[in-house]
Amino acid sequence: MKTEIGKDLKYAKALLEQGDLVAIPTETVYGLAANALNPDAVIKIFRAKNRPEFNPLIVHCGNWEQITHFTAQIPPIAEKLAEHFMPGPLTLLLPKKKDIQDLVTSGSDKVAVRIPDHPITLSLLQQLAFPLAAPSANPSGYISPTTSAHVFHQLNGKIPYILEGGASKVGLESTIVGFDEEGRVCIYRLGGLSIEEIEKVAGKARILTHHESKPKTAGQLLSHYSPRTPLMLGNIETMVKEFGAEKAGILAFKDLNPVISPQFQRILSPNADTEEAAKNLFTSMRELDSMNLRVIYAEEAPEEGLGQAINDRLRRARYENKLLNVEDEIPDLPE
């Protein structure tokens, strides 16, 4: 199959209507979309991604009304969050109605829904008669794509079309929010909308642990978003001293390291701004991963704004997690 990149909305729409896949730009990361109401189309997503089939998919809608069509028992606090943050990097976990099949939710009675804040994809969604099921458009376990080139690089030959929408402006996947019996907010996945923003609107939120957030989902697997090059997380200066500078790359939050050539370094935000850092995170990881390095030394961002979500991704990208020798930290081992 030949994979094309373009801005042809009509073509994208036709492909989706006939049950084919289209990679779509969103403000968070690029998604790999199919008609959420057509199981034959949805199954193609799992195949293209090599994704374990127990992972549920986010259903992307064009407006709030469409969301209410597919979900039930929406708590008032969910509506309030939607008013503030939709379209945007917020995914709500809500009881599903029958139209949403088990294949999409992995058998869960809840469905994840969101309205992406990207003009091209919003326009596409508003022209379609169905919502789009879409995971991030990367092979399972690898870094999420934030440009059409990233998608092409990884899925070339596996999908017919990539809608061009420029670089994703947020750069981190959406924050997934669910609600407990009392209607309180629970965070299932840290992401592009900060906890502070959510709490301003919805009050104190509870961040769920790996144990608590069921069904087990890829976003909660500890080893995820990983580059192929071993990535170590800690104090960069110390790691350079201890493990050597030879063939080493650096993923720093704000400062260049004096020992290693700048060509092998990526700075997430020279201004120490966590939003800017989030936007650069996945591209920087990919660039370093393509340099044939022995190791990548990375450091955490400050735990404010999007810093928590960035650190969550960095921890999952760590080499140690791939070695699976940290069982205390991994309640449910991936793959």
Summarize as ranges the residues that interact with Mg ion (CB under 5 A): 136
The residue (of 173 and 197) whose beta carbon lies closer to Mg ion is: 173
Q: Does 131 bind ligand TXA (CB under 6 A)?
A: no
Give the up-direction half-sphere exposure of residue 249: CA atoms within 13 A in the CB hemisphere. 24
The residue (of 55 and 265) whose beta carbon lies closer to ligand TXA is: 55
Q: Does 120 bind ligand TXA (CB under 6 A)?
A: no
Q: Does 22 bind ligand TXA (CB under 6 A)?
A: no
> At closest approach, how far in Å is the CB of 61 from ligand TXA?
11
Contact region for ligand TXA (CB under 6 A) — 11-19, 23-31, 299-307, 309-317? Answer: 23-31
Q: What string of H, E and C letters represents the secondary structure of 179-190?
A: ECCCCCEEEEEC
> Which partner from the list Mg ion, ligand TXA, none does 151 bind, CB cut-off 5 to 8 Å by kind?
none
Q: Does 134 bind ligand TXA (CB under 6 A)?
A: yes
The residue (of 173 and 299) whose beta carbon lies closer to ligand TXA is: 173
Contact region for ligand TXA (CB under 6 A) — 211-219, 244-252, 290-298, 316-324? Answer: 211-219
- Sequence-ordered alpha helix ranges (H) in 162-293: 195-202, 236-243, 274-289
Residues from 232 through 261 that contact ligand TXA (CB under 6 A): none
d(CA 152, CA 54): 25
> Which partner from the list Mg ion, ligand TXA, none does 111 bind, CB cut-off 5 to 8 Å by kind?
ligand TXA
* Sign of the torsion angle spanned by Cα atoms 160, 136, 147, 247: negative
8 Å CB contact between 45 and 140:
no
8 Å CB contact between 240 and 254:
no
> Which partner from the list ligand TXA, Mg ion, none does 108 bind, CB cut-off 5 to 8 Å by kind?
ligand TXA
Q: Does 38 bind ligand TXA (CB under 6 A)?
A: no
d(CA 160, CA 158): 7
Count of residues near ligand TXA by CB under 6 A: 29
DSSP structure string for 76-144: HHHHHHHHHHSSSSEEEEEEBPTTS-HHHHTT-SEEEEE----HHHHHHHHHSSS-EE--BSS-TTSPP
The helix/strand/coil state of 33 is strand
Q: Does 108 bind ligand TXA (CB under 6 A)?
A: yes
Q: Does 16 bind ligand TXA (CB under 6 A)?
A: no
| Tokens, residue 113 | 């829904």
82, 90, 162, 173: which one binds ligand TXA (CB under 6 A):
173
Contact region for ligand TXA (CB under 6 A) — 157-165, 212-220, 250-258, 327-335? Answer: 212-220
The residue (of 170 and 240) whose beta carbon lies closer to ligand TXA is: 170
Q: Does 113 bind ligand TXA (CB under 6 A)?
A: no
Strands 58-60 and 90-95: unpaired
d(CA 118, CA 148): 14
The residue count for the chain: 335
> Which partner from the list Mg ion, ligand TXA, none does 57 bind, CB cut-off 5 to 8 Å by kind?
ligand TXA
What is the residue type of 49?
K
The residue (of 27 and 289) whose beta carbon lies closer to ligand TXA is: 27
Q: Does 88 bind ligand TXA (CB under 6 A)?
A: no
Strands 248-252 and 265-267: parallel
Phi, psi (rounded to 5 degrees) for 314: -65, -40
Binding site for ligand TXA (CB under 6 A): 26, 28-29, 31, 55-58, 91, 93, 105, 108, 110-112, 116, 134-136, 173-174, 176, 188-189, 215, 217-220
